[in-house]
Amino acid sequence: MGWILYILGGISVVFLATGKAIDTKNSIQIELDEFNTLLKCQACGKFHRKYQEELEMRINMHYKEYHTCPRCGGHSPIYTGEYYPWLDSNPEFPKLTWKDLKKVKKALRKTDLLSYENRMIEKFLYYHHLLPIQEKDEEKERLPDK
């Protein structure tokens, strides 16, 4: 009788593990689809993808909002038009694979860390009055032009 329970236990462990693997696979696919979201600029007509906005957001000080064209700064809504195969292979906005997703996420994490370190050093220098200019800049940001 004990062996039946043993086998049933084994089967349920296999089911649980498979279920978990499928969940992980689905969540990676959802993230990948999100990063690959295609956007089209209303001003210049060029395409770009969401992951390009994520990168731009971290490396370009003047890039402040999502749905903005990295080339001309025009408003770029999500593209809902007809699908063409060349959209996936275009070198201007290559579609990420699972492997690429790992690399892009690693790059994003690294950039986040570097910008945190930059802010940390800046605050330190400002705190010790070694960076007097920053006070003026912060003042400007807080008080918008009339």
Closest to Zn ion by CB, 65 vs 141, is 65
Tell me the window of 13-21, 51-59, 67-75, 103-111 that interacts with Zn ion (CB under 5 A): 67-75
Q: Which of 44, 78, 114, 125 binds Zn ion (CB under 5 A)?
A: 44
Q: Which of 51, 57, 47 is nearest to 80 (CA)?
A: 47
For residue 71, CA distances in Å to 40, 41, 68, 76, 106 come to: 11, 9, 9, 11, 24
Q: Which of 20, 25, 64, 71 binds Zn ion (CB under 5 A)?
A: 71
CB of 91 to Zn ion, least distance (A): 17
Q: How deeply is 53 buried, as exposed, middle or buried, from its count of CB atoms within 10 A (0-12, 13-18, 19+)? A: buried
Residues found near Zn ion in the complex (CB under 5 A): 41, 43-44, 69, 71-72, 74
